[in-house]
Amino acid sequence: WMELVKILENIRKDITRSIEEEVRCLPLLDHELLHSEAELQLAHLLLSCLGMSYIHATPSSPAQSLPSQLAIPWYGVSSKLGIPPIIVHSTISLCNWRKLDPSGPMDIDNLTLLYSLDSSRDLEVFFLIPLLVELSSVPAVRAIITAQLSLARSTKADLL
């Protein structure tokens, strides 16, 4: 799955290849071998990229069904995670990024996606902005938790 996602854009550009055919040539991998949350999230991300690419390979005529080598593991992984078999915010944004400079700031110019549907910076930014919005809310969430704990302990000094 990973290798195919890495070359999706190249396949789209090559008139001798098709995403549909590449997906149909995949073996049916056993998703039951995936156990950790990280493995399942990565599998969901990759299968979502492949699924959306397969469905929309011909934008004017979206696919109405998926081949079993994609549908079965995508549904199984999604069921284990409790999320639908479609690209969702948690997998495409929150679990799919890295810093370009590990010691650099957590800002849009220093972030990139691990996997995507294409290599355009526009799509990358579209998926990274929600991550940054959520990150900016962390101080507010911490303050709310502190306030709730202070009220529960009747120690209102922490509220100041």
Q: Model pTM? A: 0.81
| pLDDT at position 148 | 86
Scanning the chain, the segments in alpha helix (DSSP H) are: 2-6, 8-13, 19-24, 37-55, 68-81, 89, 121-136, 138-153
Nearest partner of 146 among 136, 134, 156, 135, judged by Cα: 156
Instruction: At 63, list the tokens.
Output: 């696919």
| pLDDT at position 146 | 85
- Which residues, given as ranges, of the chain have pLDDT below 50? none
Q: Which residues pair with 119 in a beta bridge?
A: none
| pLDDT at position 131 | 93
Average pLDDT, the chain: 91
Tens-place pLDDT, residues 56-97 = 988 899 999 999 999 999 999 999 999 999 999 988 999 899
